[in-house]
Structure 1
């Protein structure tokens, strides 16, 4: 057969060489002959590059250029138009939802639409590869496959109707049917115009079938990119010699096409005589990527490569300690290329790497031309719509509410945008100090006060909050309408309009509008959706879209995905993120068919994607100058080098006679130089000495003259906290996401016991007391704790110790009566000018006239030694009782001090301290206060913390971490 299969070697600028070959072949032909050529290309970017190459070659009639995917749009009488891809996925989502209801154990945790998306991909693949449901019926799964795969196969049978002849095809199915129709048509009437397919490796079944048909035409031709002309025949044969084909090899797709086309590796001709930019490197990489069964040839064939210095002299290997160092080093490489006037391209499938490098380039004002653009899900409009969808059906806590209000799209349609930002900041401070955890209209109006603008804004926020609840399961059109209405109201702002907001503006907003419009159109076939499934639907739709922003980019700095690297070359090419799981990316798990089932059915194996990625790597590494980079560690663990980088370094390291180790050392040395420059770039020119352990000495007039007994423990353990809180008046904010923490639990338990004690009937039995305690607990928990799970858990704990508490309370009733419950009082120390205040949990007056002090503890009470040295609350309260600080009982002798634990087993513990020890504690307290009232005494940070792991609210202010607990304190006079 005629040699109508052509290729270009790795590293060649494919679009430019493709155009050059076309022009050369039609040089002596009439101009209209070139215009009759139909040129089918693999991607939109390749179409643009080919047009640019034609423009650069001078004025002429151009061939008819299109995409291979355009074949599926050709009008064929007996083939109906393709149905909407989204509509088909919505239909499948209903079937998947039914499966999940019947088999809840099937892929637990996976969203309904994500499963439908993967099922749609499987159906598209089956149609492209010509695999029918009948083929799956022949699989023997009864003995060799798990129950999960049996269930999935039974479900796949349900969707067999999409393969029937009268079924409306989807895009992939119509593509194959059109190709098959063209093949039948060409058997009777071959096309007169030349047809050329270029830039595709035929990885999809329909594309490979089309390529086979074109290659069989007298005036048809195929031009492959990145063909390995150095690979010997036995290596080609090894790709298909085993039971399982070696699909992860970069040249496997060409090998698979050989069988379809009836040719061998030697039948592939060069499209042009354009030499590869680095032929020595191509031979080295070809040998390194040989399939595993023939790697024993490394040593024998490696000697024939000759000295490896020329192959590696324009290669650099950067093995960075972490991802940040890698990104900065690559940014410096790109900056150097810009300064030298060379074009540079960063190629990687890892979008995290590209974002880091782009951020590093921004410091020099270099904005790279990113082919992928920005994921729609990360744009302002995309994130806003996803947030609103994700939060529907939930009661908004403080953090989610502020996330919505602070979003750059929120209230952009209103003239109150400035006030909106101001009010949001003020509301945040208010809610973090006073709550509630779930803001509502009452709390918002309480914050607004009497100011009309605040009231109007608060009413708008309250309306928005109310829109998130309820969100019951409903038909998809209703859910979409509710979602869009809520998003529009939030984007419009008080008195504004959604049309004037930033929600639907610019490229991202327009893309979001198009997706939502298509979803609205296809929604009637979508079934019913709850909030979680709908949020999953929106996430899936947005994550598959990219947005390119119309900004002025640097023309010489490109960021490319691996697919784009086939059609775009540069003077310098950087292959970044060369780690397993990144390049190559780990194949997505298939929830429907196992690997063995795919192999038996003739579907594509997971290794196919790895093989395509390997081909992209082999094509890109053939550039004139190459930088290979990886990070030895990512955010969580040590990384594993990419298998291709591993093979390359292992091969070079083992070829001692040809200078392989020396060449590899040179690559690493050049990479180390870039890492050294990156470290030097970030090394500060001035070294700032770490902070010393602070012990500020404020003037005497600024020192606190009043403290509660609970602050004395802090004064002893962490005086700096008293300085920051009482003198600087810095109060820590509550967290943005309030939780039912121990502090809140303690407050609620104190309130429960207080109300129980204050309302005690005289003739109450133990059973009645227990019932009343639990009733009070349930009422207070319902009123004070907005988390249902915490209500249930805490009530259960109280129920467990309720009998113990009421029995102990009954015994105390016989001894005395509670006179003081949560009542604040104070005592003056006139000789030193100080006032001590206290709010005892409870003080009983006994029958003999003495006082009994009680302190409720939700956690473990302090030991006697801890009380003696640090936790002096009860002894100090006892000293205040003895001195008549509490008017309700006057001066009294203290009979006992008791801790009552409102947790655990509800046990009590008496504090063994007599009058003499109480008096001694009082005197030590006086001396302590007097010392801290003197200007020469400093408030030392973390003076005597109970454990080093206990955090202080002011550790960041004292810069703890720059100094250690063992460091001496440095006193400093402050104003």
Structure 2
């Protein structure tokens, strides 16, 4: 290493960087004594690179090792006069106080983000300023044009204040830069005698670039750059900085910026070793494809030099899956085949959801990958419980949220009654689904617990006490919210009669990481910050998202999951680049709520293109592996996807190089990928094909058939007899949803209750205005009692009040002609010798002055048409028949003069059916025939016999296995029981 010029070396993409770094260092030190290696200071970019370098040294046998350090360790180097960095959490809470004041003091400052989301983005901005050496005075010189939105003016004024406030309090980034600046000054005056080698970094951050320049200027210093493109010609290098705006999204731009700072040209970068990549032809193709735009002329000119692309891409496989599930299965098969062949494989992707899918698919073969990112702390058992409990305060507790917590695997683990807790949770869930309430409170819990069962009462008292401790809302200090959260954690983990010390809450690495997170928050909360419940939940989310938990299980030695940054240190024989779509490769840059792009450029801060360029460099290194699989899904859960810009360029370039057989190479790449897609499509196919179920028509014994039905069930018996069989014979009832909502049934019950009270208390002597006022008061009271959702209450009340004048006027007219005699009263009647009983609960029966009856049915939905009433919906006709046969003791046998539907929606019209006594008599006769037929053993209860619409969904369609059979299939009778 002669000390003449800055010593800058590099390794091309496609070589094992860690291995070649060690080999080159050992080769250069071969003529020196063994202890000389111990005096070498080797500074690396990441922890995984450090581990790989140590492994390579271990493979060389017993020898002295260099002093291996990390660039990030410099932030903790002791230095006189330089205090320790301010803890990140304390800085976050201090900034949150200021951001909260900003958000409340400037109503126009709207970003769509919460307080702590804004705080995190501001923290990142301040850290970037300190790392890049941007002084706050820069913001004083920024010229805000009149065209800028008021938002940018307000944010800039705020940043000018905040940046100076924190100028002297250094975070880790700022302290690292101060350390580097001090080291650079010291080295310039007194160069160290030891060799210093900085390897593996691209110099993308200001402090790191400054350190690299200082090391390169040392007489015995050297840089070893990763993934340097030796195939790029000088004009291509020159084009990176020739325009008014540098092309930062190119993978080699950071090297060009670094070399310009060292007054070196790319041609002066030497190879660290002479080892060539596995596929030089592929590297040349990728290098040309990633040239800075415009590139078409370069493709046409330099592409002619490429030859035999099928050979260059012989070890490249292209998987173009239909959806992410198929992509994950295909990747899992690729990795499984690599394990079978004994190859070390690495999956590289920024899409963490995709990597979790692949890990789940590998589990079927008991392959546990070594995931470098570990498991996000919010997804661990303690993290999920903390997040659920942090969202309880400040609102009514929904049924599903409470049940999710009660079923959590860590709840009640400190109690000996864990089994009883699970049983009582199930019983409580069934009760809530059947009877409610949608938002259970302590009173509802104690009512459910009762006094008959001591164990149940003890459990409900335990849970009611915890719910009582949940604050209703408001703004409180973070310490108060944290105290509430800790009490809830302890109470739920302990369980009824248990203790948190005996629970599993803080066990394992995940529990310890969660405990440290909450403990750090408690220790750093000295600001007195007051936040709402929602903002506190956001704070907990942001803190948990910063944590990762490594699996303690033994991972498979041949399968590794890596992030894109670790592409330069993988050392794998097979590399899978997964999720090659836009917004993943590259990831979409996070929006900056504080500075616009123009303001960042003028201030000398980093542009979003920097992250794109780093991702492009990671792609260029990873695709140069000995064997590569490129994968993407054509569609995600929302829409069609767009291929990654780099994959798109590569495919377009290869497809246009017909002289080099580019189309043939692409066809072979896709054919290799299609093999895995075919295997993935067959992975879940059953080994033998099962015959689809026929359309059922079960025939239970005569004694098991129902002997009583309400008039409302006759419609079901005609349209879907199987539903009567399932509900009345098998006694199966569908459970209400876990997350109840304002469904049509609840609306009908509430409106019927309103009308019942209105009719009962109606006074014909009052004016129409007083009647409308009375109806409005009743509706508001009933809806508040029966509907737990305030927005739904107001919406339904508005709809009812819109038709209130019609309802009151109709009621006044009815009272002038008739008197209500039966309101919501049940009655029954037997159908002759069959022993079958028909029941009814009519909404309303009025008696006219001539003694005849009028039957009314209130409909919250659209009333049925007359033809439907005649053939299917026979409720009013059957009620009329029951009236004429004296089923209602209050009025005795009466002739029915009319049947009407009152619509409690729309325009509130009242429609009388044009049906007479002949229709009533005919309906009764047909009912007797229908019931007699279904009481006979020979009659089956066919599924979906005459549904109104073919797309209608029944409660028992899954039980009848609808979908395996079609509505055109004939029912297959089968004796059961």
Structure 2 CA distance, aligned partners of 1:741 and 1:415?
Answer: 40
1:513-547 deviation line (CA, Å, top 9, x unaligned): 11111111111225111111111111112123221
- Of residues 71-80 and 424-433 in structure 1, the stretch that sits farther from structure 2 once superposed is 71-80
Structure 2 CA distance, aligned partners of 1:3 and 1:306?
Answer: 36
- Residue 454 of structure 1 corresponds to 456
**Are positions 1:657 and 2:627 aligned together?**
no
- Residue 910 of structure 1 corresponds to 912
Work out whether residues 107 and 591 of structure 1, in 8 Å CA contact, stay in contact via their aligned partners in 2. Answer: no
Structure 2 CA distance, aligned partners of 1:823 and 1:546?
Answer: 63
**1:574-973 map, 5 Å:** 574-760=576-762, 764-973=766-975
Structure 2 CA distance, aligned partners of 1:950 and 1:157?
Answer: 62
- Residue 215 of structure 1 corresponds to 216
TM-score, normalised to structure 1's length? Answer: 0.97
**Are positions 1:44 and 2:47 aligned together?**
yes
- Residue 61 of structure 1 corresponds to 64
Work out whether residues 35 and 64 of structure 1, in 8 Å CA contact, stay in contact via their aligned partners in 2. Answer: yes
Seen in structure 2, the aligned counterparts of structure 1 residues 664 and 744 have a Cα distance that, compared at 3 Å, is same
**Are positions 1:291 and 2:292 aligned together?**
yes
Work out whether residues 824 and 838 of structure 1, in 8 Å CA contact, stay in contact via their aligned partners in 2. Answer: yes
Work out whether residues 201 and 224 of structure 1, in 8 Å CA contact, stay in contact via their aligned partners in 2. Answer: yes
**Are positions 1:318 and 2:319 aligned together?**
yes
Work out whether residues 132 and 163 of structure 1, in 8 Å CA contact, stay in contact via their aligned partners in 2. Answer: no
Structure 2 CA distance, aligned partners of 1:40 and 1:392?
Answer: 48
Work out whether residues 93 and 526 of structure 1, in 8 Å CA contact, stay in contact via their aligned partners in 2. Answer: no
Q: CA deviation at 1:744?
A: 0.9
- Residue 491 of structure 2 corresponds to 489
- Of residues 618-627 and 894-903 in structure 1, the stretch that sits farther from structure 2 once superposed is 894-903
Q: Alignment partner of 1:574: what SS?
A: strand
Q: Alignment partner of 2:9: what SS?
A: strand
Seen in structure 2, the aligned counterparts of structure 1 residues 749 and 76 have a Cα distance that, compared at 3 Å, is same
Seen in structure 2, the aligned counterparts of structure 1 residues 862 and 294 have a Cα distance that, compared at 3 Å, is closer
Q: CA deviation at 1:125?
A: 0.9
Structure 1 CA distance, aligned partners of 2:800 and 2:623?
Answer: 68
Aligned pair partner of 1:573 in 552, 572, 575:
575
Structure 2 residue runs of 5 or longer lacking an equivalent are none
Q: Alignment partner of 1:274: what SS?
A: coil
- Residue 17 of structure 1 corresponds to 20
Q: CA deviation at 1:220?
A: 1.0
Structure 1 residue runs of 5 or longer lacking an equivalent are none
Q: CA deviation at 1:775?
A: 2.9
Q: CA deviation at 1:282?
A: 1.5
Structure 1 CA distance, aligned partners of 2:311 and 2:907?
Answer: 79
- Of residues 847-856 and 568-577 in structure 1, the stretch that sits farther from structure 2 once superposed is 847-856
Aligned pair partner of 1:90 in 81, 93, 105:
93
How big is the alpha-carbon RMSD for the aligned residues of Structure 1 and Structure 2? 1.8
Work out whether residues 6 and 218 of structure 2, in 8 Å CA contact, stay in contact via their aligned partners in 1. Answer: no
Q: Alignment partner of 1:951: what SS?
A: coil
Q: CA deviation at 1:138?
A: 2.4
Structure 2 CA distance, aligned partners of 1:37 and 1:304?
Answer: 43
Work out whether residues 709 and 836 of structure 1, in 8 Å CA contact, stay in contact via their aligned partners in 2. Answer: yes
**1:498-509 map, 5 Å:** 498-509=500-511
Structure 2 CA distance, aligned partners of 1:103 and 1:965?
Answer: 62
- Of residues 359-368 and 296-305 in structure 1, the stretch that sits farther from structure 2 once superposed is 296-305
Seen in structure 2, the aligned counterparts of structure 1 residues 693 and 542 have a Cα distance that, compared at 3 Å, is same
Structure 1 CA distance, aligned partners of 2:315 and 2:804?
Answer: 79
Structure 2 CA distance, aligned partners of 1:904 and 1:309?
Answer: 69
**1:111-510 map, 5 Å:** 111-162=114-165, 164=167, 167-449=168-450, 450-510=452-512
Work out whether residues 81 and 168 of structure 1, in 8 Å CA contact, stay in contact via their aligned partners in 2. Answer: no
Work out whether residues 470 and 484 of structure 2, in 8 Å CA contact, stay in contact via their aligned partners in 1. Answer: no
Structure 2 CA distance, aligned partners of 1:865 and 1:391?
Answer: 51
Structure 2 CA distance, aligned partners of 1:914 and 1:666?
Answer: 78
- Residue 555 of structure 2 corresponds to 553
Q: Alignment partner of 1:222: what SS?
A: strand
Structure 1 CA distance, aligned partners of 2:228 and 2:438?
Answer: 63
Work out whether residues 41 and 67 of structure 2, in 8 Å CA contact, stay in contact via their aligned partners in 1. Answer: yes
- Of residues 211-220 and 677-686 in structure 1, the stretch that sits farther from structure 2 once superposed is 677-686
Q: CA deviation at 1:501?
A: 2.1
Q: Alignment partner of 1:906: what SS?
A: coil
- Residue 5 of structure 2 corresponds to 2
Work out whether residues 587 and 609 of structure 1, in 8 Å CA contact, stay in contact via their aligned partners in 2. Answer: yes
How many pairs are equivalent? 973
Structure 2 CA distance, aligned partners of 1:963 and 1:669?
Answer: 37
1:529-583 deviation line (CA, Å, top 9, x unaligned): 1111111111112123221111111101111111122112111111111111111
Work out whether residues 16 and 571 of structure 2, in 8 Å CA contact, stay in contact via their aligned partners in 1. Answer: yes
Work out whether residues 704 and 726 of structure 1, in 8 Å CA contact, stay in contact via their aligned partners in 2. Answer: yes
- Residue 75 of structure 2 corresponds to 72
Q: CA deviation at 1:768?
A: 4.2
Work out whether residues 742 and 792 of structure 2, in 8 Å CA contact, stay in contact via their aligned partners in 1. Answer: yes
Work out whether residues 844 and 851 of structure 1, in 8 Å CA contact, stay in contact via their aligned partners in 2. Answer: yes
Structure 2 CA distance, aligned partners of 1:942 and 1:168?
Answer: 73
Structure 2 CA distance, aligned partners of 1:365 and 1:640?
Answer: 33
Work out whether residues 6 and 262 of structure 2, in 8 Å CA contact, stay in contact via their aligned partners in 1. Answer: no
Q: CA deviation at 1:259?
A: 0.9
- Of residues 190-199 and 692-701 in structure 1, the stretch that sits farther from structure 2 once superposed is 692-701
1:476-507 deviation line (CA, Å, top 9, x unaligned): 11111111111221122112222322221111
Work out whether residues 3 and 269 of structure 1, in 8 Å CA contact, stay in contact via their aligned partners in 2. Answer: no
Seen in structure 2, the aligned counterparts of structure 1 residues 796 and 639 have a Cα distance that, compared at 3 Å, is closer
Structure 2 CA distance, aligned partners of 1:639 and 1:803?
Answer: 54
Work out whether residues 785 and 791 of structure 1, in 8 Å CA contact, stay in contact via their aligned partners in 2. Answer: yes
Q: CA deviation at 1:623?
A: 1.2
- Residue 99 of structure 1 corresponds to 102
Q: Alignment partner of 1:524: what SS?
A: coil
Structure 1 CA distance, aligned partners of 2:446 and 2:760?
Answer: 33
Q: CA deviation at 1:278?
A: 2.1
- Residue 36 of structure 2 corresponds to 33
Q: Alignment partner of 2:502: what SS?
A: coil
1:218-256 deviation line (CA, Å, top 9, x unaligned): 111111111111111111111111111111111111011
Structure 2 CA distance, aligned partners of 1:906 and 1:186?
Answer: 89
Q: Alignment partner of 1:958: what SS?
A: coil
Structure 2 CA distance, aligned partners of 1:537 and 1:279?
Answer: 49
Q: Alignment partner of 1:731: what SS?
A: coil
1:428-483 deviation line (CA, Å, top 9, x unaligned): 11110111111123432343341111111111111222232323211111111111
1:143-162 deviation line (CA, Å, top 9, x unaligned): 34333322221221121324
Q: Alignment partner of 1:177: what SS?
A: helix
Q: CA deviation at 1:293?
A: 3.0
Q: CA deviation at 1:866?
A: 1.7
Structure 2 CA distance, aligned partners of 1:297 and 1:930?
Answer: 87
1:777-832 deviation line (CA, Å, top 9, x unaligned): 23322222222222223333333333333333233333332222111111111322
Query: Which 4+ runs in 1 deviate beyond 6 A?
Result: none
Seen in structure 2, the aligned counterparts of structure 1 residues 903 and 654 have a Cα distance that, compared at 3 Å, is closer
- Of residues 792-801 and 488-497 in structure 1, the stretch that sits farther from structure 2 once superposed is 792-801
